Amino acid sequence: MQFTVAPLPYAKDALEPVMCQETLEFHYEKHHKGYMTKLKAAIEGKPEAEKSLEEVIKTSSGGVFNNAAQVYNHTFFWDGMKPGGGGAPPAGDVADLINGFGGWEKFREQWVNEGAGRFGSGYVWLVLSGGKGKIVTTPNAETPLTTPDVPLLTTDVWEHAYYIDHRNNRNAFLEAFCDKLINWEFVAKNLKGAK
């Protein structure tokens, strides 16, 4: 079994003040790594242990699916952020995709509204769907990997993702994510891989 939690692509204090080191300590060290610990225990000695993480997600259900999908979703979330990120994407394929929403401001508004509107726990995603950009939300551990859509970017809207920094103000977290954290290079890499 080769499953490991990828290291964060930045220092735990690198996303401050939007996301403080304490948030990363709890979210990455406790939640993310905790999902991997539970996944490994659930599949040890079973055929799933020889599959890739993506294969496990696409072929499992129940606790195995939940833990595998949460490992994937969290890694995708971390990689979609960077210090000094956010704002409108630079000219190119990603900007063209975002312009399909009516421009950056319209995309940002929809991202915040969709993420804030996801009741309870889950994620808001930018996916490539039928060759066009689309914003979708998923509950709990659900992921676009189980659909024909290609994930490009996500924000974790489980309360533990933002409560230390923003208390119960999910809108403020989503706005700050858009304005100061999005890693457009990561989105561009995913978009290129989808074509």
Domains and CATH numbers, the chain: 21-79 (1.10.287.990), 93-194 (3.55.40.20)
Residue whose entry in the numeric block shows the structure tokens 């994510």: 177
Output the pLDDT for position 1. Answer: 58
| Pairing status of strand 150-156 against strand 132-139 | unpaired
Share of the chain above pLDDT 70, in %: 99
One-character DSSP codes across 137-181 = EEETT--GGGSSSEEEEEEE-SGGGTHHHHTT-HHHHHHHHHHHT
pLDDT at 77 over 80: yes
Output the pLDDT for position 195. Answer: 74
Question: Is it true that the peptide bond before 17 is cis, omega within 30 degrees of 0?
Answer: yes
Which band of pLDDT confidence, cut at 50, 70 and 90, is reported for residue 156?
very high
CA distance 65 to 78: 20
pTM, 2 dp:
0.97
Residue-wise pLDDT for 25-47, tens only, equals 999 999 999 999 999 999 999 99
Chain center to CA of 78: 7
CA distance 72 to 46: 20
